Amino acid sequence: MEQPNLSYIYSMSGGDKDFEKKLINIIKAEFPEEKKTYYKNINSDNFNKASENVHKLKHKISILGLEKSYEMAVDYENNLKKASTVGRKDFDAILQLITDFINTL
C-alpha cells in the first residue's frame, strides 16, 4: 500500500519551515474532526452528508501524496451519492493510514 508523505507540503513551502509547521498543525487539528464527522454520518446511514465529508477528506488525501487512495475516495464519494457504501472498507483503511501518519508528525 502507498504511504503518506510531505512532498506536496515541501513543494508549497519553498523551504519556509514556519509554513510547513503551521500547515501540519492545521492538518493535525482538522483531519480528526473531519474524520469524526464522517463516521458520525456514515454510521447513521446519512450517505449524502458522508459523501460531502469524503469530498473534504479527499483534499487531505491528495496533500499527503496518496494518489491511488485519492482515486478510491473519488469512487467512494460517488457511490455514497447513490446511497451505496461500496469502497467503505478501503476508505476507512486510508483514514487509519493517515491517522497513523499524522500521529508521527
Residue 63 in contact with other proteins, rule: CB under 8 A: yes
Residue 17 in contact with other proteins, rule: CB under 8 A: no
User: Between residues 18 and 104, which has the closer beta carbon with respect to other proteins?
Assistant: 18
Residue 46 in contact with other proteins, rule: CB under 8 A: no
The string of DSSP letters for 31-100 reads HHHHHHHHHHHHHTT-HHHHHHHHHHHHHHHHHTT-HHHHHHHHHHHHHHHTT--TTHHHHHHHHHHHHH
State the Cα–Cα distance between residues 38 and 25, nearest whole angstrom: 20
Least distance from other proteins to the Cβ atom of residue 29, Å: 8
Contact footprint for other proteins (CB under 8 A): 8, 11-14, 16, 19, 22-23, 26-27, 29-30, 52, 55-56, 58-60, 62-63
